[in-house]
Structure 1
């Protein structure tokens, strides 16, 4: 059974630092606060790095190492604590992530309240904040207050999809130790996919070679046929861009696929959340007060459904953004072919022939404008332009650039 840090791809320096910190944490006397007797372990950490570098994986692996029950191995990967942390079911590890576009104040307050109590089964109460750059000013200030005066047995692990920690509010950043993760190479990604022995080696090698160092993307490509099919659709688009009767419908299909994936990925959890909320509020019960409980449940369910809709919107954008990254990568390969940079590794090695044909047909300046159009589309979707409008405008801009 691999240790918890074996899940990280190509991050030897970060693993060494986190292992040393988890080892030092075992020497601390519970309940005596945060002193500076051993600087290896601090109460707040900030994991930064480019998309796919493994920020959340690093944070959860570190959380597992801190809770690990093995007396000799830090982060053994075999004990109950390691298993439950990595599965997301450990009672003393709390995940704070955007339910919609941002992390809201009410979610921060609820998490902080739970994390301020004494650990129930583990050594620590641990708060993992995914996409910490999505904290609003109010929610960020609420988190800052407790990070400034942390409970003696609470650790905060913040993750942000950036290569620059300056993207995090300065006061939170100044109170956290930064762990900078790098973009792993294809060999490291392949090794990470093979850790549990669940992925075919040939599939792992191919997925690693076309994922641009994005471990999560490589895993989806290796394990999900729908993701592989979507990639094929995306990479057809540049080859039919000259034909509007094919290009615009294909672009519209990308958006529809992203929306369908968001619904499919969230439907089960959405239904479970609604049912759990109704039960918690007494819906379906009998006796005095059930009518009032039913009315209260109705309002709470509507609020939950609004939050779920926001989450599906975020999921749709994330799925579509991955498709646009693939598209930009194809045009990048075409650009390299256009300027004769044969020594540069291709993003989509399995589509090198198509990219070379495109690069031989259009001048480099035009292909560069196509890449800019894709990036403009990504930015437009991020600021809430409707995906269909943004993608349609992108197709129009690329066609104009290549005409």
Structure 2
């Protein structure tokens, strides 16, 4: 067993990382790129474990376990929770990264979604990568090299991951999670190469229900009123999922911050801390929580839109009788009905409408308005 066993369908990348961990081609800055779900952060974490483990990532020692759960003292894991990562946060990160290793040879910073850094934050990060401490290694993750400023990417060794094949994901679900082969094959195909989503679809009935609701949308768009209602349902579902993902976490974070400033304690002057410095800290925390909820809502909507793109791609394949595997084979009847009742040109226009909606959401257009425009175009 090795920490690299978790990288599904990434043989070339695994070979590069193994050699780097053994000392061949090692460098102080890495950039892991690849489509969503390809395992960018998993690959970065595997390299971190290989660098911090005496046996180069054996996968079963205490140090490998500490890296896996994020508790290793020489590993700093950064996950931007909001829509962006600020220059203040980056400067604080750079200061923490400058410390000497505690247990081993390296101090490792794993920066997930590094493309969320603001321009000023990217400049601060660049200075740290240009002149790193001798034992600090930066592991940056982004969907594409072009998502990072050229000055940063030119100073990193780029590891490009590919979309894992469906059969490899299905085999992983069967072997690692005990999923039935038929369910594993469905989840791997429906997830379109996204490993995390495949696991959710295979193990979570609610995730399968949400996907089914999205794919039911095309046949409900029979009039203007139905289009508006469908858009409202889609946006509301995204809001509910964001609320479910953040409510409990928000409460814990707020309670911990209030405790830090002495709320509920006794003793002279303890509660004054919340009045003096805590109010500003609470406001900052609330802003971060709102930003996180907005990001989750946007990501949830985007995942639903990608499901719709895959649906219409399958319609197009049926219309042209293309000899390809359908992502939504489980909805063959719906695909054939829509293929018969429309033309390939109409299908392409619908795909364009969905992609335009994604662009508008990324540009902070009101979600309800953007999705309503899309559903009307799909009708």
Normalised-by-shorter TM-score class? over 0.9
Q: Is 1:397 aligned to 2:377, yes or no?
A: yes
1:284 and 2:260 correspond: no
- Give, in whole Å, the separation in 2 of the partners of 1:339 and 1:241: 24
Q: How does 1:111-122 map to 2 (within 5 A)?
A: 111-122=93-104
The CA distance in 2 between the partners of 1:332 and 1:286, in whole Å, is: 63
Write out per-residue CA displacement over residues 293-334 of structure 1, whole angstroms, 9 at most, x where no aligned residue.
021212211210111011000001101110100011101111
TM-score, normalised to structure 1, is 0.90
Alignment TM-score, normalising by the size of structure 2: 0.95
1:102 equivalenced with 2:101 (yes/no): no
1:41 Cα offset (Å):
0.5
Tell me, what secondary structure is at the counterpart of 1:16?
A: helix
Deviation at 1:353, TM superposition (A): 2.3
Which 10-residue stretch deviates more, 119-128 or 44-53?
119-128
**Separation (CA, whole Å) in 2 of partners of 1:115 and 1:280:** 25
- Aligned partner of 1:227 in structure 2 is 207
Alignment correspondent of 1:33: none
C-alpha distance in structure 2 between counterparts of 1:314 and 1:142, whole Å: 23
What is residue 12 of structure 2 aligned with on the other side? 13
Take 1:269 and 1:242, find their aligned partners in 2: how far apart are those partners?
Answer: 40
Kept after mapping to 2: 8 A contact 1:283/1:297: no
Report the Cα distance in structure 2 between the residues aligned to 1:122 and 1:364, rounded to whole angstroms. Answer: 59
Contact 2:221 2:230 in 1 (8 A): no
Question: How far apart are the structure 2 equivalents of 1:226 and 1:91?
Answer: 37
Deviation of 1:198 after TM superposition, in Å, equals 4.5
- For structure 1, the 5+ residue unaligned runs are 25-37
Superposed, which structure 2 residues align to 1:184-333 within 5 Å?
184-295=164-275, 296-333=277-314
Query: Is 1:338 matched up with 2:326?
Result: no
8 Å CA contact 1:338–1:360 kept in 2: the answer is: yes
Equivalent-residue separation in structure 2 for 1:328 and 1:254 (angstroms): 15
SS of the residue corresponding to residue 290 of structure 1 reads coil
**Partner SS, residue 137 of structure 2:** strand
The yes-or-no answer on 1:172 pairing with 2:157 is no
- The change in CA–CA distance for 1:191 and 1:64 in structure 2 (over 3 A counts) is farther
- Structure 2 unaligned spans of 5+: none
Question: Which whole-Å deviations, capped at 9, do the CAs of 1:92-118 have from their partners, x for residues lacking one?
Answer: 221223221111112212222222112
Question: Which contiguous aligned blocks of 4+ residues in structure 1 show a shift greater than 6 angstroms?
Answer: none
Moved more, 141-150 or 119-128: 119-128
Distance 1:392 1:243 in 2: 12
Between 323-332 and 48-57, the greater mean CA deviation after superposition? 48-57
Q: Distance in 1 between matches of 2:182 and 2:92?
A: 45
> What's the RMSD between the two structures over aligned residues?
1.6
Contact kept, 8 Å, 2:227 with 2:376, in 1: the verdict is no
Task: Output the CA distance in 1 between the equivalents of 2:205 and 2:89.
Answer: 35
After TM superposition, give the deviation of residue 211 of structure 1 in Å. Answer: 1.2
Of residues 34, 37, 51, the one that matches 1:66 is: 51
